[in-house]
Amino acid sequence: MKKRDCTPLSECPNCGLPLFSGAIMSAIADAADAGFDAVLGMSSSATSERCDAAYLGSLVGEDTTCPRCKASVVSVTIVEYPETCALCDGEPAVFWQTDNGTFVGLCNACGNSDEGKEWVANLDSGPIQGDNTPQ
């Protein structure tokens, strides 16, 4: 099953404006840690012309653009997820990306079994971050 994954960029590729996204409280902390105080979308005094960074929101899609210059600020990739569990014919619920870039998955039953735990221990990488269920 193929899915388009959108990953927000950390800065605009056109104008260089630093960008934050995700949960608002984490984004506020990240912006403060980076020393930004006029963050568009977080500060009432920030405007697209007078800001040192921008908050894109918690949901970033393919059409998300930089608030300053309107350039695309997401990286879109097509990912192919497996349609069946690696150990049975069930529907996978958790996915891992292998070192060669392919995805493998386990259903909940196999993931909680001793065989599944051993299978996971032998993988080179952990589960992919974020929502592990393809849409």
Answer yes or no: is pLDDT of 63 > 90.
yes
Answer yes or no: is pLDDT of 129 > 70.
no
- Residue 11: both structure tokens together: 């800065």
- Residue 133: both structure tokens together: 């269920």
- For the chain, give every domain's residue range: 2-77, 81-121
The pLDDT of 61-80, averaged and rounded, is: 92
74-96 pLDDT per residue, tens: 999 888 889 999 999 999 998 88
2-26 pLDDT per residue, tens: 888 889 999 999 999 999 999 999 9
> Distance between alpha carbon 23 and the CA centroid of its chain, in Å?
12
Percentage of residues of the chain with pLDDT beyond 90: 60
Distance (Å, rounded) from C-alpha 99 to C-alpha 116? 19
